[in-house]
Amino acid sequence: MRTAAGIPPESASLKARPKRSIPGLTLSNSSSKFPARPFQYTHASAQSDEQLVCGPHSLLALASQYGTPLYIYSADQILERLALFQQALLARRHLVCYAVKANSSLAILKLLAAHGAGFDIVSGGELQRVLAAAPEAANRVVFSGVGKTAEEIDLALDANILAFNVESEAELTLLAARAAKRKRKARFALRVNPDVFAETHPYISTGLREHKFGIDIRQARRIYREAAGNRWLAAHGVSVHIGSQIRSAEPFGAAMLRVAALVRQLQRDGIPIQTVDAGGGLGIDYHLGVDNNSSFHPKAKVEEYAAAIELALKGLDVQLLLEPGRFLVAQAGVLLARVLTVKRNGKKTFVVTDAAMNDLIRPALYQAFHEIVPVVPRPGRAAAVDIVGPVCETGDFFARDRKMKPIEPGDLLAILDAGAYGMAQSSNYNTRPRPAEVLLHGDQAALIRRRETIADLLATEL
């Protein structure tokens, strides 16, 4: 069902639409209880083409209603992922502190807070987001980050957050000074650098001694002992974060073994460590194929990860904090982009979309792979194309030499697994307003951020 220009017809609002209600459409069978992605194709029928949907929600209709580029997230999947962590850790006191940096939309923070999550923040801005979304969750916040300012520390002390993950001796000195000034005891964990190699992209590997992150684990005992003499500091935990998009449980277990040894030593020293923070970093599979129920089993992944950590902590009476970001939100999100034009230069075909690197920078920044699928597939033979945005940079691409079925101007493409580090890393480069965001929850679809306007962009300039 397409207009002459190839643009799918407008559909009515999907607000409060009952489940499975797209007329004439039946959903493909989802074989897994925890599908890797909440987006799947319907079967074509007499009334309608095959199309990509999220439960009862038509992505075509959402794009028509809210425009493109558009981020769409499944709240149901985000909560399902949170529950996987919470269930895998039932045998131990624990708190899942969602890494706000992955996707800091207020509605997502509110959703997670309401289901028991805490938060890992890395700036005063992120703290203000948590306080705006869920002030009652302030005492479930840990504050990481390699360079905290005095103002940020003051804000966090006043909010009475759970703990500061301290990344240097200088930061601990600053924390003690700010705490003394405000007459508030600061709970802290040293973020130790365990010197563990985690196989991932070099820009997101953080656990080696040569990285800027954390404190050399060999120095940690001395620093804890010195801090014990300061009445404004309370040693609360030990924390670690070895990197992001780590697919194997092994490096997490290796890092935890080193942390556990340190905790035992500190407890023998009489330093009452109460928490171990294992950081975030559990990776997802970005190469699933359109059949999203294939080889990636989120539940098994989380269980394997939790087991590796638990094995290392065996016998230690501590609360476990985790800081997952990507694993909770990445696969719950898509970025919808409309095809503006299809052009040929020499031997190459370029599909130019209305989304660009400013909306989703991961391919340009990390050479990250995102699967891209048409919302309504066209029949025909697949051919290699580059899928690019309109920004004036050769690095403005989403896919290169990607085999795609025929694509025409006006078609809608879904860039999959875009829920983490997508909108959160977006910018206004080329004076492009940032996309709108929609959160789907059951049969409800809510606009959680309106599209920026040029007036928004100009408002701060004098």
Q: Tell which residue, 247, 165, 238, 240, has the closest CA to residue 198.
A: 247
279 lies in the binding site for ligand PLP (CB under 6 A): yes
The interface with ligand PLP within residues 316-375 (CB under 6 A) comprises 323-327
State which residue, 98 or 398, has the beta carbon closest to ligand PLP. 98
The pattern of x and - marking residues 388 through 427 that bind ligand PLP according to CB under 6 A reads --------------------------------x-------
**And the tokens for 111?**
């959703």
Cβ atoms of residues 232 and 176 within 8 Å = yes
Concerning whether 54 is annotated as a catalytic residue, the answer is: no
251 lies in the binding site for ligand PLP (CB under 6 A): no
**And the tokens for 451?**
């599209």
Residue with tokens 């089993």: 297
Query: Starting at the edge strand that comes first in sequence, how are the strands of the sheet with 26-27 ordered?
Result: 26-27, 39-43, 52-54, 57-58
Q: How far is the CB of 239 from ligand PLP (least distance, A)?
A: 8
| Of the candidate residues 124, 194, 237, 280, the single one contacting ligand PLP (CB under 6 A) | 280
126 lies in the binding site for ligand PLP (CB under 6 A): no
214 lies in the binding site for ligand PLP (CB under 6 A): no
State which residue, 242 or 412, has the beta carbon closest to ligand PLP. 242
Cβ atoms of residues 62 and 336 within 8 Å = yes
Q: Tell which residue, 178, 185, 181, has the closest CA to residue 234.
A: 185
Q: Tell me the site size for ligand PLP, rule CB under 6 A.
A: 17
Q: b/e per residue, 346-356, with b = 16+ CB within 10 A?
A: eeebebbbbbb
Catalytic residue among 4, 16, 46, 392: 392
117 lies in the binding site for ligand PLP (CB under 6 A): no
Q: Tell which residue, 213, 303, 318, has the closest CA to residue 262.
A: 318
96 lies in the binding site for ligand PLP (CB under 6 A): no
3-class state of residue 83 by DSSP: helix
State which residue, 161 or 407, has the beta carbon closest to ligand PLP. 161
| Of the candidate residues 241, 301, 370, 432, the single one contacting ligand PLP (CB under 6 A) | 241
Give the separation between CA 244 and CA 329, rounded to whole angstroms: 14
120 lies in the binding site for ligand PLP (CB under 6 A): yes
> Which residues of this chain interact with ligand PLP, rule CB under 6 A?
99, 102, 120, 144, 241, 244-245, 279-282, 323-327, 420
Catalytic sites, residue numbers = 392
